Amino acid sequence: MNWAGIVDALGYPSAGLGILIESAGIPFPGDALLLVAGAWAATRHHSVLVVILFGFVGATAGADIGYLLGYRGGRPFVERFGHLFRIRPDHLARAELFFARHGDKAIIAARFLLGLRTWSAMLAGMARMPFWRFQLFSALGGLVWAAVIGGLTVLLLIALVLVAARERASRQR
């Protein structure tokens, strides 16, 4: 069985799917999956830009799902079951007030904060942030986030190659 070929075929879509799951409100290591997909693509001489594209699409689509879940049923759900997640009604009120004041910046910044990346879309929906405004800032944040993670992957691999080459050169002396 050609495992490398299977990973080549499924790597891009699985990275996008993992990020979609995380962005929709389910805790999932989307950033780690994007890093691994980027590293795999770079080492196999595939396009890291395609990994970034799948990351962007997954982040945007997942955030739309999370927003819809928050908009349609988030508040009643949290009011009923929030105690299981240690969410009190005053937490919810503060989050809604925060999104009313700083929603645009929060949506972009949330992409870079573990945990908040998972819940921000749902909170924006619960706070009734206008969808098209949410969509604009979510897409912008998702694109910047995917590009930063993809770029970090390439920089990390370059650094590892340089360290390995330096170590090899020092052994030959």
The length of the chain in residues reads 173
Q: What is the DSSP string of 11-56?
A: HHHHHHHHHHHHHTT----HHHHHHHHHHHHHHTT--HHHHHHHHH
Containing 63, the helix (H) or strand (E) segment is: helix 48-69
pLDDT per position as a tens digit, 49-99:
888 898 899 999 999 999 999 899 877 777 777 677 677 778 777 877 787
Per-residue pLDDT, averaged over 9-16, amounts to: 74
State pTM to two decimals: 0.79
